[in-house]
Structure 1
Amino acid sequence: MKDSSSSLWTAQILLHYHADMFTRMLKLRLLNAVAPAYFFTATAVTFILHFCFFIPTLFPNPDTSPGGSKTLHTVFFLFLMFNALGNYIMTIKYPAESANETGVPVCSPHCSDMVDAHYLLNGRHFCKLCKKVILKRDHHCFFTGNCIGNKNMRYFIMFCIYTSCTCLYSLVLGVAFLTVEYSLSFENPLTFLTLLPFSTGYFFMGTISGLQLFVVLMLYVWLGIGLVCAGFCCQQVLLVARGQTWCQMQRGQLVDNHSPWRNNLMDVFGTRWILGLILPVQTVETCTDEMDAQKQD
């Protein structure tokens, strides 16, 4: 009787564990689909606002606008967007999986790692979302829908840099548009903090237009995305300079890396790193050899 109760209790625990794992994985898979859709939607909206509202309003005369040339601002914006989208595509094009492993390891129920990944050996992780073994896995990026590792770390960092710059530039032009078109004043530092709640109230009162409210909302979207990307960029550059990954830091694993920080950065950005700063092109040979992962462990 005692053995039967113990077995029933164990079965209930396992059932609860698998149900919890299924729920978590379902949420992560949903986020893995929603995040890229959100990114592309925000990108399309940014394009439309820039070319249909911001630039025509702020630079009505191409050559005599006081804020600068309309062509110059257009080219600069396209340059930022080209690099942001180009590095985004390169991050997806060069995934971080190991080409030497095709089998799918089975994660133990007692795995101490996060629900989305299972640590193997020598800097290798099995990502449960990608269903692949990842070499030098740093983290799973939901905005790109794949893992960031040894092959695509440079593209991810450059994607964060240019996305942050694009959001900052859009934020500046959005504030200028609201100032010129709707005579809003941003001289008071508290204006930006109270802008969204006041604008929402004025919209429902019929005082302001839907376009003005939408632009105000996008200001906060650009600010949020820009700050998040800037934070990711600083974190990843610091980890790369230390020769460490985010997975290793989460596990409390100290990396005995004797290479100088310059060499660690060169391993990721390549010898043609200057070219990689202005164009989303490959500047370092991608390596799939498992022995490279052992340098980090």
Structure 2
Amino acid sequence: MFTRMLKLRLLNSVAPAYFFMATAVTFVLHFCFFLPTLFPSPSASLRGSTTLHALVFLFLMFNALGNYAMTIRYPAESTGDTAVPVCSPHCSDKVDAHYLLNGRHFCKLCKKVILKRDHHCFFTGNCIGSKNMRYFIMFCIYTSCTCLYSLVLGVAFLTVEYSLSFENPLTFMTLLPLSIGYFFMGTISGLQLFVVLMLYVWLGIGLVSAGFCCQQVLLVARGQTWCQMQRGQLVENCSPWKSNLGDVFGTRWLLGLILPVQTVEMYSGDSDAAKQD
């Protein structure tokens, strides 16, 4: 158990560092390599295209980082609990949190009581629950869009700069192993290999974020959490899916789609803690 918790705490520190490093690298590649290479001419039309691509990228990245910050700013902890309550008789110690009574969990990593805990997000370093679920979902959406957008520009960069053709679907599948081999043979540059590696990083993060987002939206619509699903607990919430989504995304949900702002009323207390999980 000690070794497992040590690994989880290490991951809790490494994952945010990895996220910020990948973000910084993506910024540099976009503005120092992709855009100057794809739109080198000073003509008015290409300047407009450069500006458009830069604005789209900045919009996606702003929302991804903004919702990331909001996820951390509004933690899911239950402020009404000053001590850890007694565990439920159904509590399992096989995961990283104790299931408590009245819809609460005690996270061993955060060392806090979490209200309606869904899971612990290592990339943000805190738990996802009733107060920050909306920001986490929007973070996943915009992270996925940013990665897939970067993937498209990266493929275009390799096509223009190194005359690679991606007409054959197998090209992308064999690109990484061939690039590693050519790099050690001295045929390609380190920059080309690095861009190829980043293509696979963007693809992986983009697909994982998109899948995670779809899963979370489905759980929210059902009025269920990931912790409940892990325990095999049936949903007792009979509210319609529109009402469940409204509880998370708020009445100003449309504004929340384009800006990382607060769209739901924050709890003055943890009155919902009395609701059963």
Q: Does 1:230 align with 2:210?
A: yes
Q: Does 1:287 align with 2:262?
A: no
Q: Does 1:80 align with 2:60?
A: yes
Q: In structure 1, what is the equivalent of residue 146 of structure 2?
A: 166
| Percent identity (aligned) | 86
Do the aligned residues in 2 keep the contact of 1:255 with 1:296 (CA within 8 Å)? no
Structure number with bigger Rg: 1
CA distance, structure 2, for counterparts of residue 75 and residue 296 of structure 1: 45
**Out of 247, 251, 255, which is 2:227 matched to?**
247
Q: In structure 2, what is the equivalent of residue 43 of structure 1?
A: 23
CA distance, structure 2, for counterparts of residue 288 and residue 217 of structure 1: 47
Q: Does 1:54 align with 2:34?
A: yes
Q: In structure 2, what is the equivalent of residue 64 of structure 1?
A: 45
Count of matched residue positions in the alignment of Structure 1 and Structure 2: 275
Q: Does 1:192 align with 2:172?
A: yes
SS of 1:65's partner is helix
Aligned CA-pair RMSD? 1.7
SS of 2:127's partner is strand
CA distance, structure 2, for counterparts of residue 183 and residue 229 of structure 1: 31
TM normalised by structure 1 equals 0.89
Do the aligned residues in 2 keep the contact of 1:243 with 1:255 (CA within 8 Å)? yes
CA distance, structure 1, for counterparts of residue 93 and residue 103 of structure 2: 14
Q: Does 1:27 align with 2:7?
A: yes
TM normalised by structure 2 equals 0.95
CA distance, structure 1, for counterparts of residue 85 and residue 176 of structure 2: 49
Q: Which amino acid aligns with 2:231?
A: R
**Out of 256, 259, 270, which is 2:239 matched to?**
259
Q: Which amino acid aligns with 1:125?
A: H
Do the aligned residues in 2 keep the contact of 1:203 with 1:209 (CA within 8 Å)? yes
- Cα 1:120–1:134 change in 2 (3 A) is same
CA distance, structure 2, for counterparts of residue 289 and residue 132 of structure 1: 16
Q: Which amino acid aligns with 1:270?
A: G
CA distance, structure 2, for counterparts of residue 39 and residue 252 of structure 1: 32
Structure 2 spans left out of the alignment, 5+ residues? none
Deviation, 1:69, is: 1.1
Q: Does 1:272 align with 2:252?
A: yes
**Out of 107, 120, 144, which is 1:140 matched to?**
120
Structure 1 spans left out of the alignment, 5+ residues? 1-20
Deviation, 1:107, is: 7.1
- Cα 1:84–1:28 change in 2 (3 A) is same
SS of 2:179's partner is helix
Deviation digits for residues 15-43 of structure 1, max 9, x if unmatched?
Answer: xxxxxx11000000000000000000000
